[in-house]
Structure 1
């Protein structure tokens, strides 16, 4: 779903529907916990239809991950331990990693993981959005279509009837080190054109936030205060530890990637987050914010958030070539006996 009133800023951009059914979407299986700790929570809104608005300087995402993605800020490939194996995650890649079940002995054994691609990452302001084929609220007992776990918010605040916001019993505290990509951290960007400055924050795992810091600084520097601009080299020294005092679910303006990434706006208070059901309309965004900055950051996260990529066609061809050679030499050996 587009961020409200931002759509008209880029009328030429094509809206893609994000959320076709995927076997990597709603996962069954065991609900084995990944660790105890604080709660989860988050924004409310319409169902996860999503808009993959490619924009800024680089347009769209490439199915193969584009050979030039590694040269872009935020486009490098990182190895991330996930469910007992190492997965390569890359910014700007199309995604679509293989669907499989998490093996026995790992957290959430039996649940599905993989299959989600960039066209499906867009959620809404509802915690639980951004899952392909799922339009409910909350993240309990779901699979991991993008491999990453949904973010959690911590249990230091009582959410009353909004119990769906507290999933720490299932996914662990924000500082849970077994979380794919590392513990949750956050980064802030401030506008250079509003007083006081419009402040946006991204919340996700360590690997994702550091990657997005570089991508946003590169794509949206025209809208940012100089102090908000970082590089791959210094991002880790600027990022902040997640703190519920500064990161609130009611400030969320967009979820992405199966609610494993959130973009928040300081001062926004979406009362729909605390409603007893999922039908209450979202609170409008406040007047006086830097809409162009918000649009740029939102689009950049959509096209640059790291994903696990599918095996390339070249990789598949190499495997077939090796198999062909094996069969060829096996036949020669058999004839020579």
Structure 2
């Protein structure tokens, strides 16, 4: 088992379903070596070193509450820390994206890579055009307009509307910033409003020992660019970005260049804690029994990190 940022870098074979395999900065369907960069393909992830793993020491716990959303024309309930899953179905006629599949993906498949279009079980190419919704959520929208090059057209389609589209499951996109209390490092989460609100609370509880005060989540994602993303989750419907990071692979032809290594001197302890929290807590549609994590907070993330270390 290999989880980004947590496991010791090593070569692994392809693992179907986009589960928790990959390097220290990403995880997807196929892992790379222990180099400091990863392929720009959605199906490949490298394993750049991010320093030693560190468990979080946040004091409070995050309540596991359910939130209603609408997806595929039906009301559904999402919950943090649950298993997801459930039966795959087709979106009915008369609804947005009619005929596309939805549902079926589970918690073990939430991790993607740095490539937009990663995190889809069994899919290893970048881009999101025409895809189904294995987690029910739509992929992030990076906005449209003039001035984008041909190699970045896959990022700027209006297929899923603009970031402020109120039809998006979970509501319009929103961001939350997480700044290190020891360095100038700032990470930004971008996802739908319901997801961002939940994860901001979870990260504040789980990673408080690494965080400066956390601002209230804000609607929109103008402060985040796709070149800054260090990890996609949940079929590219959520992402963690790093201020000042510029991944040149995003604007290059697919598989033409490796991901740009993360800058030296960033707070890797905060990065690892945020990644573990998002992967374990990102809300999923209730399709299977929830994970047994009463009082899911700092202790849960720390325990997960320790157990994963012990298995390697």
Q: TM-score range by the shorter chain?
A: 0.7 to 0.9
Contact 1:19 1:49 in 2 (8 A): no
- 2:170 corresponding residue in structure 1: 181
Q: 1:72 to 1:242 in 2, by over 3 A?
A: same
Query: For residues 291 and 158 of structure 1, what CA distance do their matches in structure 2 show?
Result: 34
Aligned pairs for 1:24-103 within 5 A:
45-48=40-43, 56=55, 72-73=61-62, 75-103=64-92
Which of 260, 264, 275 is the equivalent residue of 1:298? Answer: 275
Which of 148, 154, 164 is the equivalent residue of 2:154? Answer: 164
Q: 1:209 to 1:172 in 2, by over 3 A?
A: same
User: How many angstroms does 1:91 deviate by?
Assistant: 0.3
User: How many angstroms does 1:84 deviate by?
Assistant: 1.6
User: How many angstroms does 1:178 deviate by?
Assistant: 0.3
Contact 1:122 1:255 in 2 (8 A): yes
Residue 122 (1) aligns with residue 123 (2)? no
Contact 2:41 2:254 in 1 (8 A): no
SS at match of 1:134: coil
Q: 1:16 to 1:75 in 2, by over 3 A?
A: farther
- 2:202 corresponding residue in structure 1: 215
Residue 241 (1) aligns with residue 212 (2)? no
SS at match of 1:172: coil
- 1:199 corresponding residue in structure 2: 186
Contact 2:39 2:45 in 1 (8 A): no
User: How many angstroms does 1:259 deviate by?
Assistant: 0.2
SS at match of 2:253: coil
User: How many angstroms does 1:83 deviate by?
Assistant: 1.5
Q: Deviations over 1:143-170 (max 9, x none)?
A: 00000000011124632022111122x1
Query: For residues 214 and 182 of structure 1, what CA distance do their matches in structure 2 show?
Result: 17
User: How many angstroms does 1:282 deviate by?
Assistant: 0.2
Larger of the two Rg values belongs to structure:
1
SS at match of 2:274: helix
Which of 257, 264, 269 is the equivalent residue of 2:241? Answer: 264
Contact 1:74 1:304 in 2 (8 A): no
Q: Deviations over 1:280-333 (max 9, x none)?
A: 1000000111011001001110000000122549xxxxxxxxxxxxxxxxxxxx
Q: 1:16 to 1:240 in 2, by over 3 A?
A: farther
Contact 1:44 1:124 in 2 (8 A): no
SS at match of 1:180: coil
SS at match of 1:189: strand
Q: 1:11 to 1:160 in 2, by over 3 A?
A: closer
Structure 2: stretches of 5+ with no match in the other structure:
20-37, 47-52, 291-312
Q: 1:118 to 1:184 in 2, by over 3 A?
A: same
TM-score, length of structure 2 as denominator length: 0.76
- 2:250 corresponding residue in structure 1: 273
- 1:20 corresponding residue in structure 2: 17
Contact 1:50 1:130 in 2 (8 A): no
TM-score, length of structure 1 as denominator length: 0.71
- 1:322 corresponding residue in structure 2: none
Query: For residues 47 and 243 of structure 1, what CA distance do their matches in structure 2 show?
Result: 22
Give the structure with the larger helix fraction: 1
Aligned residues: 260
- 2:309 corresponding residue in structure 1: none
Q: 1:135 to 1:100 in 2, by over 3 A?
A: same
RMSD: 2.9
